Structure 1
């Protein structure tokens, strides 16, 4: 027995190299087989939709880990690998991706980016929606935070693509799908955008419906800026249609007697009720300012700038709102232009002649009522009169030759007196002014054309030297 033990102790160390040789032989023989089975198994899954798939091989046993999008997908994947020649056993570690209840997807836009959240049913859908968002939004940053989930309603892709097209029409807001219900909120980027989105929603695929649409239109803004340095009145913003645009530009041309009207207006839906009836008198108020800005937002009119004299500022604050349609509001932020230095009679006459060469005081046809379009011109004449307080001024009325002489004489006198009354209501002393009518006796143009007659129908200011 003792001899046997001694023999065994000598034999045992020799088994170690032998085991190493066996292990090496096994590794050399199995590694190519495992690599081949991994490649065959991967190829077997190429037509089966899986996510995060991973194949590991040990000998002839294959372990499959993957996220499947359906129970059929799981079974088909395992069966496909089991059918690979050489595979002995398939260890199934697949799982179904989570099911979303409800299935929610959303696109939210803020100032700098669009963020996609919620669920996508398939990797291809996730990629397609991300690419579509980047294409539709023209360079806006798009962040995709969606995850893969089961439970999407039929035709989800079609509905989501249509809604992404509407995100481009938003300044900010959110559009979402919850199962087959659509919800929208936010502010449209441009006027008419809200209506365009509503029209597009009529093309949603069958089965989808709008649960809520709270898209708001941007403020409907019209703006006019009077620049005395450039001698322009620039109109920007929106008007309801081309007819309103033509009428408003024409009204501005009548009211601003010496400024060029620059028309940068656009037409759009969404104008508040009574828009044109508020804008036209508001333009008349702006024409009475030395410099100023008019902003019409929804049913509010904001007028700011410098009136030409104290009484004008008071009149604008008190009376302008009376000219607006019901429900409109006025916010007037008016100051008074600093008074210019006094001038002598010669300069005063020059200034009157210069202003009246650019525009004429208008009256209602055949009557002595002053047309409201002449308010701006009259205020400029009042400003000049304030600069020569020591001089008396004759307001002379003239007509063309249409009609009989006595009627023209009477009309010229009444019109001259109407102008004097306007000046006195502005705070000028009545004693400085005299109204004189000359009828058709002092024409400055031939009365054989409409243009000549229009020139003869006029009011002149004649500065009188002190005696």
Structure 2
């Protein structure tokens, strides 16, 4: 009885335990299924389709491969919003990233005199130390260079090296500059010493820039000090135009040009903005005077500082002249003093013989002085002045003395000769009434400069300037390319020979003229990458031939340096007997092989693997040779045993 009760109780508890276990299993499974379903629903709502969800009891596992770290974080956060975040187990992976896009490498170079700062990001493989060394060489000392560059381990971009070479080239010419360089582009902002210096630098940099580099130049020049402050506006049969135009501000310039255009001048007329204006009312005075001249109908108006000269066209009605001049005198600011002239009509019964002095300058540089001078001393002075300006061998004098000339004639003649010296070719005619300057020039500012000289020497006396700017005469635009420089070296040398003393690297006296001409050309060419190569024949020991060729190439480089050629971008290399151009078994062949060559080197972006692109410049008959057969002499004069001969 008792046993059956115990058995019943035990069975009951066992059944209850089993029932509880089954219930617990089903409860856990329900919790797992609900958790998985709710997390999956949440992920789908968030648009996360790469993640899967599993559950094990109360733990929820999120798995899958996320495209990036941010996507992985979003998935785990979304799951933590459905179930307790402590129950979420992160089993996700992050996809391997694609190749990382390299950053934009660039360098900003800031130069203020002898101080330079380098700022930017450069490739780790780039020779940063060489850049700093080059910059230090430009400014004079490495302690003046602030290195603020960072590096990144990415390949060197194409055109990076070329851009950096152009940037350092610009740095040499511009002591106050900001230069930004990146692969394929260089931007330069700088202040130059003068407008002429700006034109020279622009021409050099544009000539040095490879076609693959986008060069942007923003060069400015300080305002020149104009003395005298000059303006001259002419209206005649050739039209309305400025011989010279100066302004003190952009507003004054715009006002003056607007008045000139209203009088019929070309819209392309220019005006120099400078310092030294005699009055802040310059723009008002000039525009008012130009408008008055237009109302008269012709003639010229000239400002030299505060002095104003208005010369009406011959034949202007006196009534109109008087009316306009009266209004102009009232309208001009108080600072300015007006001198107005109405020329008298010519006397038909008067002496028709010309009272004038004429000086002409031919394109070949020949100068002829003709006409009248007021004394023998004036004749001697004019001749001496011309010979000093144009060269004593180029001047021909045929002027005669006439003591019945107007006062100040000699001053007018010398002023005319100074104006003529500013032209490439042309003529100056001095008459009692005016000075006329005609010709061609390569200086785009010649009109203004000539007007300034004449105003300074003659005040407000009448003068007429008709000077044409010819681009091919502009020395700042005639800088040859490096390739053209090398070709011109070949033309300079022609069939001549550069000779050395036998068995040595000493140039003999006959080399002077050739080197002088080459030096003059290279000064124009600027800093081009030039290699001066020495070559020998095969006579003598190979090691001694190599050394002799090196010494001779270096001797040529030293001679160019002594002639003040900038040789920082040059190198001298001896090749010995390695590169013959003719048969060494004949005397003629050996003489051809003994040579100096100039070669232009254009390194590729990857300098370690690229070969130089060279443009050989053979010297002499195709080479600069040593006329005495100095390689054989060196073999005989050295340790010339038969064992040493090739």
Q: Which interval holds the TM-score relative to the shorter structure?
A: 0.3 to 0.5
- The alignment's TM-score, normalised by the length of structure 1, stands at 0.35
Q: TM-score, normalised by structure 2?
A: 0.27
